[in-house]
Each structure stands twice: as structure tokens, then as C-alpha cells.
Amino acid sequence: MFRTRRRWRLPVLGAILLLGAGLGMAVAMGAIDSGRPGQHVPAVARRAPVDRAAHVAPPAPARPSGAPVTAQQLTAIDATLRYTPFISIGGNRRRVIALTFDDGPSPYTPPIVRLLARMRVAATFFVVGQQLDFFSAGLRDELRTGLAIGDHTENHAWLIRLKRPAQFGQVRDAAARISQLGAAFPRLFRPPYGSFDRATLAVLRQLRMLMVLWSIDPSDWRRPGVGPIVSNVLSHARPGAIVLLHDGGGDRSQTLAALPQIINGLRGRHYQLVTVPQLIQLDPPGRNQKPPVAGGL
């Protein structure tokens, strides 16, 4: 089992949604509350449960259709999967950095996407399926702008608390929603809370997805202030870094305000900002990948 401390308290949506669509939207805006990564803790091996999902055929090879993933980038993802099921950093050989955003879409997604477009920045968004009930326009904005899309489960489930069939459903259902809105079937996945186990890896292998973790976490979800967010990212910048940010899950005004300084600061240090698929192609990740450690960076 691999665990990192993060956050989220999921509401009992069934009861809440009965109160009306307006209240449901309010819940969706605040249901996701992200936290910091914690410690990688091996678990005692357990017998895998009988899995109906194991008999489901994997998807056909993904084709870029609305997402900026080229055939060469898909080939690079497949090549990476041959030697590691997850990455947290690129190969440290080129001055490229990937900005990534979790927990959306939300009301903060459109202004973040507009800012990225205005500053000509590539980025990757890991989408929560249930958020598309209310904020699907955010995903469409991401696709129109040419940003990369990844899967962040259907309702931000803590996967290590679920058996493999339920984990499969969490990943597959979000991927299906994303595809229905015009994106390619996602080849990238990020586990909520950074938490995963052997069952998660088996599910991703079945779906031909690469798990994307991170090497820089400024804990923007805590709203520590624009200055600390910017300082954390810039002080830990290194070739191949993957930065964890959030466009959903609560008030992301500090993240939005910090982005111009982060972008200008990284460019001032001669970094190219790329999507995760671009990073994998331009700076192939090394074989000795490690999950984020306790306390973040």
C-alpha cells in the first residue's frame, strides 16, 4: 500500500442532492478540500479479491481527439509504462517543468485556463468526474485551449479503502465522463490523496494508464498566501519537476493570483512549461521513481 496524507471529506451526496439543484451545486463547489502529501507506507500484502473488473476488456489504444497528445507522446507514455507504473518527476536532463492542477473543474477553472492561454502556458488538469455535473464548461475550456487532461477518479475516493472492483469503477467512470465531453480516453491518472495500493496499479495496468504523482507541492490547498505558494515552487524548481496545484476543491483565488509570478519566475530561470505528455516525451522519466514523502517539499 502506498499512502500520502491528503484531504477531502466527501458529503453524502444522495441526501444532499434531494434538497435541489442549487444546493447540489454549492456542495460540488466545496466538497473537494485537498491536502498535503504524506508518507509512503508499505502495507502487508493481502489476497486480492475476486474481481469482476478483471474480465472487462481494456480500452482500444487512445487517439488524440480534443486533447493535445500526439502519437509520439502516446508512444512515450507506453514506453514509460514498460518500466514503471508511476512517475513523480521527469528525467532531470532538460529544463522542462509541468504545472498540474487537481480537483476541478470548478468556478476557478475558467479564469485559470484564460490566464494560461493569455500567458501561452501548457499545463495538465486532473479531472474529478462528479465535478462535470456542474462545471463541464471548465473541461471544454481546457480542451479548446489545448491543455492535457488526466483522470482523478469519479468522486475523489480514497482508493486504498476500496477493493479492486470499486477502484476500477472510480477510474473508469471518470474516464468515460471525460471522453463523453470530447476528450481522448485519458492515459494519465492521479490518485486522490496520492494514495494507492497494488489493486490501484492493477486497475491502471488494465486501463493502460500511467500514474502521475508530483515532486513539488506548495500546499496551495491550505491557502498559505500568494507569496509562500510562489516561493515554494520557485525554490524547489529543477529540471523535470511536476508541480501539484489545484483548480478545484475550495477557494483557489490564491492559486490564481500566484500563477503569473510562478510562470514568470520559472521562465526567468529558463524553464519551458509543458504538459505531462510533453515532459515524458522531451525528458523521459528515470526508472527509480519515488512517491512524494511526508511533509511535502
Q: Which residues are catalytic?
A: 102, 246
Which candidate, 154, 169, 161, 174, places its Cα nearest to that of 203? 169
- Which grid cell sits at 157? 475516493
Rounded Cα gap, residues 126 and 107, in angstroms: 15
Rounded Cα gap, residues 293 and 2, in angstroms: 11
Q: Cα–Cα distances in Å, from 132 out to 3, 158, 297?
A: 27, 19, 31
Rounded Cα gap, residues 264 and 34, in angstroms: 26
Q: Cα–Cα distances in Å, from 186 out to 81, 168, 181, 206, 245?
A: 14, 14, 12, 13, 19
Rounded Cα gap, residues 199 and 157, in angstroms: 14
Rounded Cα gap, residues 47 and 64, in angstroms: 37
Residue that the C-alpha cell 498566501 belongs to: 225
